[in-house]
Amino acid sequence: MRHSMPSSSPRCANRAQGFTLIELLVVIAIIALLVGILLPSLGKARRSAQQAVCLSNVKQMGMASILYAGDYKDTIWSAGLWYKISGDPGLLYQYVDYAQKIGECPLNKRQTTDGKPSTGTHLFGGLLDFDYTFSTSTQGAKLSLQTFVAYRPPASGIPPMKLSVADAPKLIPMKGVPLFVEESTIWYNQKVDDGQWGNQDQITTRHNGGGNISLLDGGATYFKPMTGATEVTQEAKDFEVNDIYVSLSGRPDNWFRFNYTAPFGWINSPRDRW
The answer to the question of residue 92 being in a domain is: yes
What does the alpha-carbon distance between residue 241 and residue 127 come to, in Å, rounded to a whole number? 22
pLDDT tens digit sequence for 254-267: 999 998 888 999 99
What is the number of structural domains in the chain? 1
Residues 6+ apart with CB under 8 A from 156: 236
The answer to the question of residue 195 being in a domain is: yes
The answer to the question of residue 222 being in a domain is: yes
pLDDT of residue 26: 82
The answer to the question of residue 217 being in a domain is: yes
The answer to the question of residue 27 being in a domain is: yes
Instruction: Say whether pLDDT at 3 is over 80.
Output: no
pLDDT band at 207 (very low <50, low <70, confident <90, very high): very high
How many Cβ atoms from other residues are within 10 Å of residue 268's Cβ?
Answer: 14
Range of the domain at 231: 21-268
pLDDT tens digit sequence for 120-148: 545 555 556 789 999 999 999 999 999 99
What does the alpha-carbon distance between residue 38 and residue 41 come to, in Å, rounded to a whole number? 5
User: Where do the DSSP E strands lie in the chain?
Assistant: 84-85, 88-89, 132-135, 148-151, 172-173, 178-182, 196-197, 211-215, 220-223, 244-247, 256-257
Cis peptide upstream of residue 188 (ω within 30 degrees of 0) = yes
The answer to the question of residue 156 being in a domain is: yes
The answer to the question of residue 2 being in a domain is: no
Q: How much is the average pLDDT of 108-120? A: 69
